């Protein structure tokens, strides 16, 4: 199996090698300072040297500018130095992916306490399960995206209680797609946009049944009153992220990234010649800031009547 390092700084920082518990820094004031140290500790505790890494999966956000940039830059530098594959992954779709796996009875998540409120899908249930994935953007705003759940066998939500565990835990059994594209907004506006999207969807789709929207991510519980405006559609609210699930969370985050980029995860170093079809599928790694910068280009100075400007003597 490939040696894969995961680095994410979209909320605090999480650093870990697949198969091992990650190092988590929850203090956003110091996590950037500790990042390089934690990367070294994570690699060493896994019994590896930096040159042994095959893949580096880095979180591309969405998240605040400074912290997110530090993680992406560190991962790019390490990938260049070790000739490892560099793969980006946003945190929102990975959170939706995890909830879909939980609904389908993935046994890896059976002991993840913060997911206990998430209900497992049942056979002949006409309810359509959606996930509102969020991340705290500060200033009373959230990064968010609304995802629909897709089963790759072509069916609707099914009861997996009688399905063999080895079939349930295959990560390709589920997938997610965006219904509301990734953005930043105030919680009350997010609710309004969800209602508008589902109303439009109802008029253009033959699907029947009700919706259940589970909400997950850092900042979700902070705006619980706003989520009540979703009415009967509101499911559970989980104040946690995929990377809060420890070693299992790292694994799911990596699965999501590898699948989205068409990477097998096999023990193959990145080709700097670009002649590998697999390498060609890997998307460019760029941070998702979403919020416009506070600094802007100033307006030009007003023209003064009959003023010829300054000239050199």
pLDDT tens figures, 272-295: 344 455 555 788 999 999 987 666
Residue 142 has what pLDDT? 98
Residues 2-16: tens digit of each pLDDT: 999 999 999 999 999
**Are residue 277 and residue 266 in the same domain, yes or no?**
yes
Average pLDDT value for residue range 161-189: 69
**Are residue 114 and residue 55 in the same domain, yes or no?**
no
Per cent of the chain over pLDDT 90 is: 65
Looking up tokens 């959170």 gives 95
**Are residue 102 and residue 200 in the same domain, yes or no?**
yes
Residue 172 has what pLDDT? 46
Residue 247 in any domain: the answer is: no
Q: In 10 A of CB 134, how many CB atoms? A: 30
**Are residue 103 and residue 83 in the same domain, yes or no?**
no
Residues 184-222: tens digit of each pLDDT: 999 999 999 999 999 988 777 655 678 999 999 999 999
Average pLDDT value for residue range 256-269: 72
Q: Is 233 exposed, middle or buried (0-12, 13-18, 19+ CB in 10 A)?
A: middle
**Are residue 56 and residue 85 in the same domain, yes or no?**
yes
Average pLDDT value for residue range 169-173: 47
**Are residue 46 and residue 180 in the same domain, yes or no?**
no
The CATH number of the domain where 169 resides is what? 3.30.420.40
19 contact partners, CB below 8 Å, separation of at least 6:
1, 46, 247, 251
Q: In 10 A of CB 239, how many CB atoms? A: 17
The whole domain housing 155 covers 92-242
Q: In 10 A of CB 286, how many CB atoms? A: 10
Residue 261 has what pLDDT? 86
Residue 256 in any domain: the answer is: no
Whether the pLDDT of residue 140 is over 60: the answer is: yes
Residue 294 in any domain: the answer is: no
Whether the pLDDT of residue 241 is over 70: the answer is: yes
**Are residue 268 and residue 157 in the same domain, yes or no?**
no
**Are residue 33 and residue 161 in the same domain, yes or no?**
no
Whether the pLDDT of residue 310 is over 70: the answer is: no
Q: What is the DSSP string of the chain?
A: ---EEEEE-SSSEEEEETTSPPEEE--TTTHHHHHHHHHHHHHHHTT--GGG--EEEEE--S--HHHHHHHHHHHHHHHHHHT-EEEEE-HHHHHHHHHHHHHTT-GGGTT-GGGTTSPPP-TT--PEEEEEEEEEEETTEEEEEEEEEEETTS--S---TTS-HHHHT-GGGEEEEEEEEEEEE-HHHHHHHHHHHHHHHHHH----S-EEEEEESTTTGGGHHHHGGGGGGEEEEE---GGGGHHHHHHHHHHHHHHHTT----S-PPPTT---HHHHHSPP------SPPS--PPPPPPPPTT-------
Whether the pLDDT of residue 311 is over 70: the answer is: no
**pLDDT classification of 165: cutoffs 50, 70, 90:** very low
**Are residue 217 and residue 267 in the same domain, yes or no?**
no
Residue 251 in any domain: the answer is: no
**Are residue 26 and residue 77 in the same domain, yes or no?**
yes
Question: What is the C-alpha separation between 143 and 268, in angstroms, rounded?
Answer: 34
**Are residue 110 and residue 61 in the same domain, yes or no?**
no
**Are residue 160 and residue 184 in the same domain, yes or no?**
yes
Q: What is the pTM of this model?
A: 0.84
Q: For the chain, what is the domain count? A: 2
Residues 57-93: tens digit of each pLDDT: 999 999 988 889 999 999 999 999 999 999 999 999 9
Question: What is the C-alpha separation between 40 and 21, in angstroms, rounded?
Answer: 14
Question: What is the C-alpha separation between 200 and 192, in angstroms, rounded?
Answer: 12
Whether the pLDDT of residue 168 is over 50: the answer is: no
Residues 106-138: tens digit of each pLDDT: 999 999 999 999 988 877 678 899 999 999 999
Residue 237 in any domain: the answer is: yes
Buried b vs exposed e over 174-191: b needs ≥16 C-beta within 10 Å?
Answer: bbbeebbebbbbebeebb
Residue 301 in any domain: the answer is: no
Residue 293 in any domain: the answer is: no
């Amino acid at each position: 199996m490939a040696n894969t390092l995961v680095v994410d700084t979209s909320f605090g920082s999480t650093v870990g090698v697949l198969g091992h518990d990650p190092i988590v820094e929850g203090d956003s004031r110091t996590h950037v300072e500790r990042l390089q140290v934690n990367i070294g500790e994570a690699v060493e505790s896994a019994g590896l040297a930096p040159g042994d890494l095959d893949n580096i999966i880095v979180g591309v956000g969405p998240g605040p500018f400074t912290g997110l940039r530090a993680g992406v830059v560190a991962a790019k530098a390490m990938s260049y130095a070790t000739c490892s594959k560099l793969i980006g992954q946003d945190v929102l779709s990975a959170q939706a992916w995890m909830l879909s796996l939980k609904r389908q009875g993935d046994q890896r998540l059976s002991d993840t306490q913060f997911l206990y409120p998430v209900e497992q899908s049942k056979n002949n249930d006409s309810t359509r399960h959606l996930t509102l994935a969020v991340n705290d953007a500060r200033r009373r705003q959230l990064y968010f995206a609304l995802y629909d759940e897709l089963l790759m066998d072509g069916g609707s939500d099914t009861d997996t209680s009688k399905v063999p565990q080895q079939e349930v835990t295959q990560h390709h059994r589920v997938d997610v797609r965006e219904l509301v594209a990734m953005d930043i907004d105030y919680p009350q506006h997010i609710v309004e946009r969800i209602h508008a999207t589902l109303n439009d969807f109802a008029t253009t789709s033959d699907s029947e049944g009700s919706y259940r929207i589970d909400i997950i991510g850092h900042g979700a519980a902070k705006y619980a009153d706003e989520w009540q405006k979703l009415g009967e559609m509101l499911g559970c609210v989980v104040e946690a992220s995929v990377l809060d699930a420890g070693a299992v969370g790292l694994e799911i985050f990596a699965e999501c990234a590898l699948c989205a980029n068409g990477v097998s995860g096999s023990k193959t170093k990145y080709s700097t010649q670009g002649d590998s079809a697999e390498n060609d599928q890997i998307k460019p790694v760029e941070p998702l800031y979403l919020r416009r910068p506070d600094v802007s280009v100033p307006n030009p100075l007003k023209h003064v009547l009959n003023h010829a400007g300054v000239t050199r003597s």
